[in-house]
Amino acid sequence: MSAALVNALLPWLVLLPCLGIWAYSLVDFSQTDERDMRTFSRDVWLVLLVLGSVVGGLAWLVAGRPRPPGVRRRA
């Protein structure tokens, strides 16, 4: 591959996965009942997701979304 092609594609290779994570987090958040959310209230998560974009999306996936049934927290 030529250097020009790599330079043209590199921003897209970074941007598309970031947008995918953010979009998945927003959809998952919108379908989650507030009673099942961990760590913060719905309003705080909404602000984190919208203003924090990818970082907020990753925070939602790690600390906010409900655990699947049967999965326990490590002691």
Q: What is the DSSP string of 10-36?
A: HHHHHHHHHHHHHHHHHHHHHTS-GGG
Please report the pLDDT score of residue 29 as a whole number: 94
**Bigger pLDDT: 70 vs 4:** 4
Q: What's the chain's average pLDDT?
A: 88
Over residues 1-32, the pLDDT tens digits come to 688 888 889 989 999 999 999 999 999 999 99
pTM of the model as a whole: 0.79
Going from N- to C-terminal start, the domains of the chain cover 18-64
